[in-house]
Amino acid sequence: MTRLVIAPNKKMDVLTTASEPALLIALSPAKFKVSGKKIKAAQVSLEMGRARWLGADRQETLENSGAAPLELLRFDLKTKPVKSDPNDKGKPHAHPH
């Protein structure tokens, strides 16, 4: 987990690796511009506690368009989701009757 802080009217590059996507959580209301090679530039508004997904092997530039510092928590997801067995019905357990 990493705390990101971007001053008003400043930019920050945010990168993920091919195997590690990231989740960004707004610590305060946030308005920023997102741009990058694989995405179309867009204005983003997040309320406090809202998230933005950054998929694997991505590079985005976040530009703080607000009047206050932009504060985000970044969670790097280092493990792949566990694949469930569709035939696994769970362990049998007794039901009191």
The model's pLDDT over 41-56, given as tens digits with 9 standing for 90+, comes to 999 999 999 999 999 9
Domains parsed from the chain with CATH numbers: 2-76 (2.60.120.10)
- Full-model pTM: 0.77
The model's pLDDT over 60-97, given as tens digits with 9 standing for 90+, comes to 999 999 899 999 999 999 876 667 666 666 666 677 76
> Residues 6-30: what's their mean pLDDT?
94
SS (H, E, C) 27-85: CCCEEEEEECCCCCCEEEEECCCCEEEECCCCEEEEEECCCCCEEEEEEECCCCCCCCC
Q: Give the pLDDT confidence score for residue 39 in this predicted structure.
A: 83
